[in-house]
Amino acid sequence: MAAKDEAGRGISARADFAWALFCGALVLLFFAPLLWRDPHLFWNDDYQLSILPVFAEVARSWSEGQLPLLSPSSWVCGNLAGEFQYGTFSVFVNAAVVVIWQFPLTFAQQAAALSLAHLFVLAMGGYLLGRGRDFSPPLALMIGFIAALNGWIVCWGAIDWFGALGAFAWLPWAWWGSERALDSRRGRSRFLWPAPFVYLLIAGGFPYTVIMLVLLAGWLAVQTVVERRSLGAVWPLVVGMALGVGLSAPAWLALVDSLHGSVRQAQESSAHWQWLVPPAALPAFILPAWTVNWADFSTRLNPHTATELACGIVAPVALLWGIMTQRGALVGRMRWDLALLVVVLIASMLPTANVFRWSFRWLPFLHVILAVCAAEALRSATTSRRGFGLAAVVLVALTGAAMWVAGAAGPFGWRLLPWLLAVAVWWACLEAWPGRFALVRRWSPAALTFVSLLVTYFAVNPVRGVPRYHLDQNLTEPAPLDRQRLYVSVHPAPEGAYRMEEQPEPMGTVVRPGSTSMWAGVRFVNGYSPIRPAGVAREFAFLIHGEIPEWMSDYLLHWQAGPEGELARIGVDGIVVDAGMELAPQPEEEWTLAFQNAEGRVYHRVGSPFATVRPVPWLEAELLNPKAPAGAMKLHQRDETAREFAAADVRVLEDSRHRVVAEVAVPAGQRPALLAFSRPFFRGYRASLDGQPLAVTSYRSLLPMVELPAGARGQLSLVFRPWWLMAGGAIAGTTVLLCLLAGYAAWRERPLKPRG
């Protein structure tokens, strides 16, 4: 079924897809001058400490022929699938990573390629969403531009929180597919349209976007029931959403399992009051340099330039002027979209609950809804669309005057105001041109949106409020560290100590902040993890960015670094200490200084590196119960309650990311053997001896342990095979089969084209 433009002319689906590709290409072109000005535009904060090193690990995993579920390079961030934000089960994310990592790119270039690939897809989805509503190609282009280039996506999703972009790239597609599913003019198989995009959105890795999708689907369902007065009218949407949820089952089941007992589950209530959109910031929809107080990551009110609200000059002016001039007629036509716009705006201003935080994350959804409403206002106006440009001049001028009166100019206000005023004047001039220039006026909303957003990001630096680190490109090499050892890095919070203002020289090869150890495949306990599901994250009080608090660092190095300490028990035989810290592991005779430079010191435990599978000679009796709660760490001394174990012979045959295989021999006698595996414990490990299952326990939820009976001999296997992977895989496989059957049935029922 071909879509139509505003004049009722039919446009083929092939032409629409070509236009969508053109929209995506223009978005890539948009970033060319921005990257020319700042080649490291996409290379900041989380992208540096978390996203890119993890994707290097993902690429390495696929090169090994393994699904990237676990990483051997971090304990805190070892469960990549459970972290959710890395899109482990997204076909698109993984394909993009594998392709990009085939080229010899720098870190900043890899980040740019990854973000631009998703911005391209997001722009295409925005365009198709507009065409699905029969907006003309120019208005659909405007929607695509706003979807991909709005302030929140550019300033946060594309240059910092990639997980948000990876998921949101598919929201316009899911919206488009959902409306096609609800279109009764299409065939019975129309329920298939939303399924792949719902899957890609959920698997993309951002819980907030999943909540946006739930709200959108519920809103469309209610609208359909009310307007058609039939509950049965929503069945294609319900089935399509269910199929998408089924396809993404491994992703969301992994997240549910990972959140259980994690640090994120018990986050501080103050986080729910951070990054709410203040009502005083709303003029930034017109003038994105508007600066007022926001509650930032510290919950303190600080001046913040609200570039997150940037969506181009056209959309907010068109909506406001359209409502003022068309009043009830326009509001009646788009009452559902307007109501959804208000609901999402209010949600962005209210505190969150449970594991969610930072309500301004609703803003990209708000921008897309605003773009759709603005396109409707422009379509509903007269063919000449006069008055919008003059309204833009007045609104920009009034907002500039209010900025001066309120003292809200901030550092960029007077730099941006003349440019936006010039764009508004240009718009007014275009409207005054004679009628023979009607084609130019038709394309002006898209062009003016593009230009106004471009001048916004030239006048207001989109990289604000987040740190940037000068990470050494040599992080891809292990030196001066040893891949055979397991390290703990003791360093201050990276966002304060290592940002370029404090550390302008290349750094990171020693301390490896965040998850940067993954670039070289070096084994670290540290890692960047917002969820922190690993037991070591709770026991060692790790913070999100991979650092240990000072009090815990002092305790570990002074009291738990000996041969019987907690670090030895989990297999730590290397310690890295930031050069600015006076700490050194104790006792001195246990450690030797292996390397030192201006960045930090590297200590190695005396002797050979620990084996990754080791017999445990004794263990406190209370720690043998896997259900017993972990208590405070203590100095380990054998007492009458300790249980002793036999000294088994162990020869490791395989030690990969998901599997350990070893030949074991336990002496005959009365004592069993207890083996400790130096890898982070996550629920889902299965053990067997020559095919016979064995129980897997853990030491304080830190590392897996397996008890072998006396006299046991054979091949011991420890495999990570969690329930969520098995159940999710079964659900996803069944859903794929259902989709294929439905698609085949639709193909069989398609009408045959007449010959001749």
Regarding whether 518 and 542 lie in a shared domain, the answer is yes
Q: Which of 527, 506, 512, 514 is nearest to 482 (CA)?
A: 512
In this predicted structure, what is the pLDDT of residue 93? 96
Q: Which of 466, 494, 529 is the last residue of a domain?
A: 466
Sequential DSSP letters for 637-674: ---TTEEE----EEEEEEE-SSEEEEEEE--SSS--EE
Q: Which of 466, 493, 512 is the last residue of a domain?
A: 466
* 187: confidence class by pLDDT, cuts 50, 70, 90: confident
Regarding whether 446 and 318 lie in a shared domain, the answer is yes
The reply to whether 213 falls in a domain is: no
Alpha-carbon distance 606 to 321, whole Å? 75
One-letter amino acid at 503 equals Q
Regarding whether 455 and 429 lie in a shared domain, the answer is yes
In this predicted structure, what is the pLDDT of residue 628? 47
Alpha-carbon distance 366 to 310, whole Å? 11
Q: Which of 412, 427, 342 is nearest to 142 (CA)?
A: 427
Asked whether the predicted pLDDT for residue 612 surpasses 50, the reply is yes
Phi, psi of 604 (to 5 degrees): -120, 140
Alpha-carbon distance 740 to 4, whole Å? 30
Regarding whether 418 and 303 lie in a shared domain, the answer is yes
Give tens-digit pLDDT for 39-72: 999 999 999 999 999 999 999 999 999 999 999 9
Asked whether the predicted pLDDT for residue 38 surpasses 80, the reply is yes
In this predicted structure, what is the pLDDT of residue 743? 80
In this predicted structure, what is the pLDDT of residue 506? 94
Q: What average pLDDT does this structure show over 671-678?
A: 94
Alpha-carbon distance 431 to 664, whole Å? 83
Total residue count of the chain as it appears in this document: 756
Regarding whether 491 and 462 lie in a shared domain, the answer is no
The reply to whether 118 falls in a domain is: no
The reply to whether 101 falls in a domain is: no
Q: How many domains does the chain have?
A: 3
In this predicted structure, what is the pLDDT of residue 756? 40
Strands 574-578 and 486-490: parallel
Q: Which of 220, 250, 247, 252 is nearest to 236 (CA)?
A: 220
In this predicted structure, what is the pLDDT of residue 678? 95
**Integer angstrom CA distances of residue 67 from 59, 100, 527:** 10, 18, 20
Asked whether the predicted pLDDT for residue 241 surpasses 70, the reply is yes
* 509: confidence class by pLDDT, cuts 50, 70, 90: very high
Percent of the chain at pLDDT > 70 equals 92
Asked whether the predicted pLDDT for residue 568 surpasses 80, the reply is yes
Alpha-carbon distance 400 to 283, whole Å? 10
Regarding whether 423 and 483 lie in a shared domain, the answer is no
More confident residue, 384 or 370: 370
The reply to whether 238 falls in a domain is: no
- Domain holding 529, by residue range, is 473-605
Asked whether the predicted pLDDT for residue 526 surpasses 50, the reply is yes
Q: Which pTM does this prediction carry?
A: 0.93
The reply to whether 357 falls in a domain is: yes
Phi, psi of 375 (to 5 degrees): -60, -40
Asked whether the predicted pLDDT for residue 10 surpasses 70, the reply is no
Regarding whether 479 and 446 lie in a shared domain, the answer is no
Asked whether the predicted pLDDT for residue 677 surpasses 80, the reply is yes
Regarding whether 397 and 485 lie in a shared domain, the answer is no
∠ Cα 472 477 480 (to 5°)? 90
689: part of which helix (H) or strand (E)?
strand 685-689
Alpha-carbon distance 358 to 665, whole Å? 54
Q: ω before 480 within 30° of 0 (cis)?
A: yes
Q: Which of 188, 174, 193 is nearest to 232 (CA)?
A: 188
* 364: confidence class by pLDDT, cuts 50, 70, 90: very high
Alpha-carbon distance 523 to 678, whole Å? 11
Asked whether the predicted pLDDT for residue 2 surpasses 80, the reply is no
The reply to whether 504 falls in a domain is: yes
Tokens encoding 308: 């997150």
Regarding whether 518 and 391 lie in a shared domain, the answer is no
The reply to whether 404 falls in a domain is: yes
- Across all residues in the chain, what is the average pLDDT? 90
In this predicted structure, what is the pLDDT of residue 14? 87
Regarding whether 390 and 352 lie in a shared domain, the answer is yes
Q: Which of 685, 691, 720 is nearest to 705 (CA)?
A: 685
Give tens-digit pLDDT for 217-239: 999 999 999 998 888 889 999 99
Regarding whether 416 and 390 lie in a shared domain, the answer is yes
The reply to whether 382 falls in a domain is: yes
In this predicted structure, what is the pLDDT of residue 8? 44
HSE-CB at 737 with a 13 A cutoff on CA atoms is 6
Regarding whether 523 and 453 lie in a shared domain, the answer is no
Q: Which residue is it, tokens 């359909």? A: 224
Q: Which of 435, 466, 497 is the last residue of a domain?
A: 466
Edge-to-edge order in the sheet of strand 591-596:
523-524, 486-490, 574-578, 600-605, 591-596
Burial class (CB in 10 A: 0-12, 13-18, 19+), 21: middle
